[in-house]
Amino acid sequence: MPHSGLAIGLVTPYSWSRPGGVNRHVGILADRLTQRGHRVTIIAPSADRTAVRRTRQAVREVLMEDRAAVFDPDEAYPRLFVAGGTYSVRLNRTTKLIAASADLLANVDVLLSSQDLDVLHIHEPLVPGLGWTSLRHAGRPLVATFHVDSEQFRTYWLARRARLQRYVEAFDHVLAVSRAVRDSLWRAFEGDVEVLPDCVDTALFAAARAAHGAGDAYAPAGAGGSPSSAGARIGIVYAGAAAPRTGLRHLLRALRRSHGGPPAVRLDVAGDGLTAERYAHLVPEGLPVRFHGALADADVARLMAGADILCAPAPEAEEFDIGVVQGMAAGLAVVVSDVAGHRELIDDGVDGLLVTPRQPRTLAHVLRDLAEDPPRRRALGEAAAAAATRYDVDVVADRLEEVYAAAAGRRRGRPQPAAARRVSAGPAGPTRPAGPSAADRQSPAPGHHVEPPADELFADFHVHSEHSKDCVVPVRDLLARAVVCGLDVIAITDHDTAAGGLEGRGLAAEYGLHVIVGEEVKTTEGEVVGLFLERTIPAGMSFADTIAAIKEQEGIVYLPHPFDRLHTVPSYSLLKQHVDAIDVVEVFNSRLAFPAFNERAELFAQRYRIAAAAGSDAHVLASLGTAMTAMGRFEGRHDFLDALVDSRIIRRPKSYLYLTGLKFLQTNFEGAPRRADPAPMTSAAGGGRRRGLRERPASGGRQGVPPDDAN
């Protein structure tokens, strides 16, 4: 496929200064994706204090506006951003979690704000620390890869299942390194999961095998054992993970219990924590064993080039045993336990052998027979090398490029700036050059005043009238109050009817307002607002059919309070399915009980570059004007979205309890609805707008909007 040159962030929660399977996979991918023309940034914690200090200094300079971004423009890719330090927290007797340092949150936030990534790929996203932090603060499409069986995190995950499920739904694509991990993930969460394994540079292992000379064994400095005795024996390799595992213990016990003594083999052990001191008491007498410790992939390739068999017994299921895949890529005859994870890698009797777990004598018998049968070893090794190409880095990178392109493709393209744009709202008005997209706007830095454009309009896109069953405010009172609040545009969006908007549009000229006809439609899967409608859309249809009905009227699809769980809202997965049809996201609703609901909406708009707007969701007159969108002028629906390009959100909220209580009293007083008292007005009709009636701020503001309220 053609390379798109995407800006990709690869996040790992594990310390970059320590070896590990996830970090190895991320490093290989970063190098290969960079070779393919992508701009890759690795985001990881580290125990390297010098690197952490450099990051803090760069972040400080960005915050002080001494530099525009964390990295220099000419810095080579792949780049490494050391987000901070980490420390381990024990969850139970067997599981440790990675906790974040105090400044990691702020550092990641600065990086993601200053660097425009097309997609963020988070590895182990639900491990507390860097992955979780990136997930909560990322305003761009997200891809997740799960590497570890959730059984290890069962207590933690199930205790927070509902909350973590919402995070899982936020991913644009979810990957698991094996079917075992996928199935375990499904036991905890709902959603689509694709199996995409960790990768191996198979060319590295094939080249090492080809370059290996007869009798040339790999023996790094300090390796134990006797090289002279190694040459006369069949070489077995055990390549463990970054942490100690029980598989080596089972292998040594099998060799020790072999009838007639161990077969004529030598054993090489590679892996962090796999030491002679820990396992010496299990080594059979007369068996040459060398413990190499943690090795880089190139050293593992040379070690396996001089061996004949890779043996990786496991007493229980494996997530994804990278050592087995490396042995296959090296052309070794592979012997593994018949457990979940291994069965995904090996076709028994074709490209390897599966042995019943926890039966050491059976394992020893298989190893002895294989050691005495060179033709079978060669046949199994050749088949294993061919099968290993499924896990080659280029195969995995090909699929990842497709995943990244699909995720990034959900984002709207940046608006193409024009030299000038007509922004009149009636008669010919002023023109103004296009600005950045609404999703890309940034709040002014503290202490910096930004003078609003002279032709800016103030709009409230979510307002209710007496045509809604839970509101008693007459349309005329609503328009009169809008003038007092300094609004130029209101969208009357009554529940399941466009009658209020149509009435308001007919009265708009009397008040000098621009009234947009809207409707808040209750679908079978949540609520959605249509703007610029001409007739009522019936309630009770599906979310997709309702959007189609709005588009049929050439209306604007406006997503109200999309993450307010106190309302009936569409699921995140449903929103992702229809993200191309959503025109505007309500990123601030002043009637929401919890600010986090608005924050999630803002992230959603940023993630997919959808135009952002605000609505008061007013059901009483006191609510009107508590949320505004400052935007450019427009003539109608055809240039409405263009006018939102450089919009900004103005927050002027009032007490949620006060507004809710007022609504309850007005709609339920003595068991029957009553009319709200009209807002006090000197005059609002008969000859156009009376600008002198508006609330005016003190010096420095416009139309009742203090500068400090603007974001």
Per-residue three-class SS string for 49-81:
HHHHHHHHHHHHHHHCCCCCCCCCCCCCCCEEE
In the chain, what percentage of residues exceed pLDDT 90? Answer: 43
Residue with tokens 């000098």: 512
pLDDT tens for 212-239 read 853 444 444 444 443 434 445 889 999 8
End-to-end CA gap in the chain: 41
- The predicted model gives 661-671 an average pLDDT of 60
Residue with tokens 């094939």: 206
Predicted local distance difference test score (pLDDT) of residue 535: 95
Does residue 428 register a pLDDT over 50? no
Q: Which domains does the chain have, with CATH numbers?
A: 7-199+397-409 (3.40.50.2000), 202-389 (3.40.50.2000), 461-671 (3.20.20.140)
Among the ranges given (94-108, 271-285, 375-389, 472-486), the one the predictor scored with the smallest mean pLDDT:
94-108
Residue pLDDT, tens place only, 175-220? 999 988 888 888 878 888 999 999 999 999 999 998 885 344 444 4
**According to the per-residue pLDDT averaged within each range, which of 45-59, 176-190, 308-322, 472-486 is highest?**
472-486
Contacts of 669 (CB under 8 A, 6+ apart): none
Two structure tokens written together for 324 = 């087995």
The tokens describing 159, both together, are 């205790």
Beta bridge partners of 90: 96
Q: Which range has highest mean pLDDT (137-141, 366-370, 654-658)?
A: 366-370
| Cα atoms in the 13 Å half-sphere on the side-chain side of 659 | 21
State the pLDDT at residue 157: 66
pLDDT, tens digit (0-9, with 9 covering 90-100), for 128-176: 665 555 566 577 899 999 988 755 566 666 667 777 777 788 889 999 9
Residue 613 near residue 558, CB atoms below 8 Å: yes
Cα–Cα distance for residue pair 557/577, rounded to 1 Å? 14
Q: Helix, strand or coil for residue 657?
A: helix
pLDDT digits (tens, 9 = 90+) for 603-644: 889 889 899 999 999 998 888 889 999 999 999 999 999 999
pLDDT at 469 over 80: yes
pLDDT value for 112:
82
- CA dist 412 and 194 (Å) reads 25
Q: Answer with the residue of higher pLDDT: 622 or 530.
A: 530
Q: What is the overall mean pLDDT for the chain?
A: 80
Residue 242 has pLDDT above 60, yes or no: no
Q: What pLDDT does residue 396 have?
A: 96
Confidence of residue 285 (pLDDT cuts 50, 70, 90): confident
Residue 588 to residue 615: CA distance in whole angstroms: 7
